[in-house]
């Protein structure tokens, strides 16, 4: 039997069911120390990433080369935009929201911003390989990406931003490369996959920033509830965006998306 708070498989045997910690009462949510809570949030996001990117949850479909190319360029433009916005604007807000005595965390976040600009350049180089440019100011955000942006903009603390950023999206994206059955290993050519690996080498440092921010501000029931809710909002939207992008690259999702319960 799974322990309370662990992900399970739904009755259909195909749906990953993850706990909706924001709905737990104080007695359940305050069990364990802050490290236990942080571990719960990490494992929930990682479980979603592993399921979302598992090639076994998709069937491959035939695409005309020009359609694949067009959709791939759109995917990389969206990734470049995300590196620019989620990788710089949101962390910059964290720096301004942290108290003055959190100098080490502020410096680590500043280094993350530097990393994210390098990631932007990596995607820009890949786009040029396909005869395109990132042009973030001209990128038309799909509605679900606007929703992801809204979630982060509405966060009121550095820790809540972390729960939607370094400790949500960054954790999910780590499954692109560390999952043996990653769908991207079959959808991308070697050069693009190597570029993704290059980017993902920085992510453990960014995830550790998110961990430490959540750890600092998860001592009370209200803090934990707000952090859990923030992560849930972002992950729900992120799943919707990413599955659409994967499908457009030549797949059909044959398992339901992970569900919160």
pLDDT tens profile 176-192 = 999 999 999 999 999 99
pTM: 0.93
Residue 14 pLDDT class (50, 70, 90 cuts): confident
In a domain, 13, yes or no: no
Domain that includes residue 251, residue range = 54-260
Continuous segment of H or E residues that includes residue 259: strand 259-260
Residue 6 pLDDT class (50, 70, 90 cuts): low
Give the residue, 7 or 81, on which the prediction is more confident: 81
Residue 1 pLDDT class (50, 70, 90 cuts): very low
Mean pLDDT of the region 152-173 = 97
Torsion, Cα 71 72 74 80, to 10 degrees, reads 160
Q: Is the pLDDT of residue 38 over 50?
A: yes
In a domain, 133, yes or no: yes
List the CATH number of the domain containing 90: 1.20.910.10
* Angstrom distance (rounded) from CA 45 to CA 256: 17
* Number of domains making up the chain: 1
Which pLDDT belongs to residue 246? Answer: 98
Residue 49 pLDDT class (50, 70, 90 cuts): very high
The CA R_g of the chain, rounded to the nearest whole Å, is: 18
Residue 7 pLDDT class (50, 70, 90 cuts): low
Q: What is the DSSP pairing of strand 16-18 with strand 8-9? A: antiparallel
């Amino acid at each position: 039997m799974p322990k309370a708070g662990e992900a399970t498989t739904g009755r259909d045997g195909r749906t990953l069911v993850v706990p909706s910690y924001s709905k737990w009462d104080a007695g359940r949510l305050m069990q364990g120390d802050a490290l236990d809570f942080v571990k719960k949030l990490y494992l929930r996001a990682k479980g979603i990433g592993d399921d979302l990117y598992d090639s076994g949850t998709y069937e491959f479909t035939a695409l005309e080369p020009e359609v694949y190319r067009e959709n791939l360029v759109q995917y990389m433009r969206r990734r470049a935009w995300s590196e620019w916005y989620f990788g710089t604007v949101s962390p910059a807000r964290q720096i301004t929201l942290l108290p003055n005595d959190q100098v080490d965390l502020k410096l680590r976040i500043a280094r993350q911003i530097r990393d994210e600009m390098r990631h932007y350049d990596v995607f820009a180089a890949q786009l040029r390989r396909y005869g395109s440019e990132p042009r973030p100011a001209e990128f038309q955000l799909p509605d679900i990406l606007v929703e992801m942006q809204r979630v982060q903009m509405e966060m009121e603390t550095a820790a809540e931003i972390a729960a939607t950023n370094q400790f949500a999206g960054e954790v999910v994206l780590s499954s692109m490369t560390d999952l043996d059955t990653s769908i991207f290993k079959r959808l991308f050519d070697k050069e693009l996959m190597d570029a993704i690996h290059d980017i993902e080498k920085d992510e453990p440092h960014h995830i550790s920033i998110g961990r430490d921010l959540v750890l600092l501000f998860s001592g009370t029931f209200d803090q934990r509830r707000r952090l859990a809710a923030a992560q849930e909002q972002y992950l729900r939207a992120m799943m919707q965006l990413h599955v659409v992008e994967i499908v457009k690259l030549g797949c059909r999702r044959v398992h339901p998306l992970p569900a919160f319960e």
